[in-house]
A and B are shown apart, each in its own frame.
Chain A
């Protein structure tokens, strides 16, 4: 491992103290000049035509500035998915439509002086709705008798399959080799169906936006977003205003996890501000966040694997059906990632077939969610591998260590499966999965505990299970990050990045990368992240791209700055540039022993000779997406009387390359892991027969609290990734993928039952136990 001064140190997050005090402004904390409050009216029908909408009584109400609906707003089709351009998501969404497609879909919006007036105005809107049959079961989506959700000119902006006439918003068919003959070679076949459920990102800060006109009538959006530049572009397109006339400012963000990769509220706020000339403010209530923002796409995944007695998997067939909900945001790419982030892990499978569809239903809308399809797919994949290893009579961990992808190896999946197009082939440059498995196994006590079925004092039975996984680091050849650095005369630097810190600490990490490259302490950097007027472009915070892609841009930029500094130092010391030695905050001429500091360079270039603002810019993309690797372990206690599963201990061992900031990297893993545990066991959307979410509140949705916490251990297993800045890979998403399968495998270890469906609630576990008992001992 290289010897770094700032990289690899747990530098304190630059905004930690002010955030703890509460003095860092979030979107809702921005002072606005008596803003209009925006409130939506939502459908309580799952599927209906809006026959007529009369807003006259609402508009006449004192304090109402405007009512916005299909008949007075632009009707451009767009996607709310904050992706690159053109987005690989269907353009199937309008600001407002003459149709509603789920309980919680938008009918219209009121702008009023207060939220109370806005609510009252909503109650005065006269509506005539014509209910349509609703589609709730994704398995029935393509049935010719099922209702159709989209058939009004919706389209896909890229040349891929889109069949709204069959309720299909995306489809995939990825063959590799010959699965039929591969299955024939197998000694046995393991086949099963797995399902995963909806989930809310539940960032503590709800979706929120503030909008105003600047003195020259430009639209300024202050917004809780992961994708400021995509917001600017999409708002411009939907409202038909030049991008130049829009400025997007990202303040502190209260968590995103993919939920704020959606351009949900910004077009509405901009529209209302332009129409009324007033500043506007829109903040979702918690129940709006649950129902009307975005969810994790539920997925049904069938795995079929043919296996030889020597352990070789000769063929794999994966078929996925993804429920996209009422709109197709991320409908193609979450589906493709269910394969792309999973199938290369066991790269010695010669024959594969991955098919899948994303379909519309009259349910809340799916979107990007940490893990992005990999979470859905790894749930079944790791259980499948556990079953195979047990059939072969080998230890799950030994099996994984033997068959997982290694350094210097590749997988054809990298090449053939990309995001809306072909992928990019790559050879794995760093893989610490084997060591992660060893470290984690030792920490959980795998050898001592696996298969022991120890009984706790309360009669509960213990078991351990594990899961292995990979993710990516950005989207190769697509994601781009920009950075700029300028020198001040005291030798400090301003670093401006388009990268979007949404609470991860990326501002701190990007400073560390610049500090390492320039050999200056991190305190010498002031960072500005994400203001479309002031910072360079960046695609935003998603696809585990910030450390790797944006960090790559920062490193390049810092080295370009270093070169300029060196030129000035050489000129000042009157020596050849090449002879100078780069030392902390200065250059030294080894011959004379004279040094010239960054501060001296700053003063000289501002005020003395050849005056210039030293400033560097750089952009970065990557031809590859080096995967981080992770092994996760759960020890559970299953109460056979009640079906309650308690996670006693949870261990994660991750290879994220060289961690730039270990404490922040651990924090990413811990947060994702607990979210994953909570998703696996307790979080769920409950729907009634009409498709209404009946538990849209923190208190009833099931997020883990401090009282639910298992003992947690997290290990960073460093590797050196040559493509990453100072050896770094990503770490933000991966750890949400393993808890569900690790827990499912641990439940099997404890009580010998398989849970194929999430969440693994006590009722489901109890039922599975009952079924297995009745199979064992047919009732007398």
Chain B
């Protein structure tokens, strides 16, 4: 099968198997910022925005994404530069191995879009689909709060 998806603003022509997931085609087309931790929808390392919806890209068939806009962590800011959420994760010490981080960043973005000033409980629930084995989540919570503060100031 083939078709077009728009990844981080750029149209890409994809040639794929019906069984291929969005994660497969993203990674095959150089978008290795989207990580594969489980392929089962259970870790959140593969999170992307499909149009405005946060999805585990390992759980979406590539065919579903045809003609749609996909945003990955490296495209979050729109200009290839770090987004304030990336900076907040780095500044808060929330990045250890970093394998979970692009997914964490996408989940944070989604949370802060719907809930610009989340409570601690809302942060916990907002990131519940993202596993991290390195940080114990403590500095990830700090990073979300820092991003939230910085985005309020900017906004």
Contacts and interface: CB of A to CB of B under 8 A. Distances in A.
Contacts of A664: 93
B64 interface: no
A17 interface: yes
A504 B131 contact: no
A139 to B, nearest CB: 32
Nearest to A676: B136
A491 B70 CA distance: 43
Nearest to A286: B38
Contacts of A205: 35, 37, 97, 99
A204 B137 contact: no
Most chain B CB inside 10 Å of its own CB: which residue of A13, A116, A671, A697: A671
A660 interface: no
B133 A671 contact: yes
B135 interface: yes
B74 A23 contact: yes
A204 B96 contact: no
Given A205-B97, A254-B98, A25 B135 contact: no
Contact of A709 (B45, B102, B137): B137
Interface string A671-703: 111110000000000000000000001110001
Contacts of A254: 35, 97-99
A283 B27 CA distance: 14
Interface string A233-276: 00000000000000000001111010000000000000000000
Contacts of A286: 37-40, 42-43
B97 A698 contact: no
B130 interface: yes
Nearest to A255: B97
Contact of A673 (B19, B32, B136, B140): B136
Given A23-B74, A697-B40, A667 B32 contact: no
Contacts of B35: 22, 26, 204-205, 254
B136 A19 contact: no
A257 B89 contact: no
Interface in A15-39: 15-17, 19-26, 28-29
Most chain A CB inside 10 Å of its own CB: which residue of B34, B39, B131: B131
Nearest to A285: B39
Interface string B91-124: 1010111111110010000000000000000011
A105 interface: no
B139 interface: yes
A774 interface: no
B135 A252 contact: no
B37 A21 contact: no
Given A20-B105, A255-B99, A698 B127 contact: no
Contacts of A15: 95, 98
Contact of A204 (B27, B34, B39, B131): B131
Interface in B27-61: 27, 32-40, 42-43, 45
A301 B67 CA distance: 60
A707 interface: yes
Nearest to A674: B136
A705 B128 contact: yes
Contacts of B37: 204-206, 286, 698
Contacts of A252: 97-98
A47 to B, nearest CB: 29
Contacts of B72: 22
B77 to A, nearest CB: 9
Nearest to A257: B133
A674 B137 contact: yes
Contacts of B101: 19-20, 22
A10 interface: yes
Most chain A CB inside 10 Å of its own CB: which residue of B85, B95, B98: B98
Contacts of B10: none
Contacts of A10: 93
Contacts of A204: 35, 37, 43, 45, 97, 99-100, 131-134
Contacts of A671: 96, 133-136
Contacts of B133: 201-204, 255, 257, 671, 675, 703
Given A19-B98, A503-B98, A706-B128, A667 B137 contact: no
A81 to B, nearest CB: 22
Contacts of B102: 20-22
Contact of B131 (A29, A667, A705): A705
A12 B124 contact: no
Contacts of B138: 666-667, 670, 674, 709, 712, 714
Contacts of B13: none
A663 interface: yes
Interface string B13-31: 0000001000000010000
Nearest to B32: A29
Most chain B CB inside 10 Å of its own CB: which residue of A202, A254, A285: A254
B145 interface: no
A505 interface: yes
Most chain A CB inside 10 Å of its own CB: which residue of B35, B136, B138: B136
Nearest to B100: A204
Contacts of B124: 706-707, 709
Contacts of B43: 204, 286, 698
Contacts of B34: 22
A728 to B, nearest CB: 18
B93 A17 contact: no
A417 interface: no
A20 B73 contact: yes
A205 B36 CA distance: 7
A509 interface: no
Contacts of B129: 705
A55 to B, nearest CB: 26
Contacts of B125: 706-707
Interface string A648-666: 0000000000000001101
Contact of B40 (A26, A283, A698, A703): A698
B7 interface: no
A671 B100 CA distance: 13
A630 interface: no
Contact of A253 (B42, B85, B87, B97): B97
Given A254-B99, A707-B124, A17 B87 contact: yes
Nearest to A661: B93
A780 B70 CA distance: 67
B131 A698 contact: yes
A502 interface: yes
B82 interface: yes
B90 interface: yes
Given A22-B34, A24-B98, A28-B32, A12 B131 contact: no
A205 B101 CA distance: 12
B131 to A, nearest CB: 6
A21 B33 contact: yes
Most chain B CB inside 10 Å of its own CB: which residue of A663, A706, A707: A706
A257 B99 CA distance: 14
A13 B32 CA distance: 21
B89 A20 contact: yes
A197 B69 CA distance: 46
A19 B129 CA distance: 19
A670 B32 contact: no
Contact of B95 (A16, A666, A714): A16
Given A206-B37, A697-B42, 20 more contacts: A10-B93, A13-B90, A17-B90, A20-B90, A20-B101, A21-B74, A21-B82, A201-B133, A202-B131, A204-B100, A254-B99, A283-B36, A285-B39, A286-B39, A286-B43, A667-B139, A699-B40, A707-B124, A712-B138, A714-B138
Interface of A: 10, 12-13, 15-17, 19-26, 28-29, 116, 201-206, 252-255, 257, 283, 285-286, 502-505, 663-664, 666-667, 670-675, 697-699, 703-707, 709, 712, 714
14 contacts: A17-B90, A20-B73, A21-B82, A23-B74, A204-B97, A205-B99, A252-B98, A286-B37, A666-B138, A667-B93, A667-B135, A667-B139, A698-B40, A705-B129
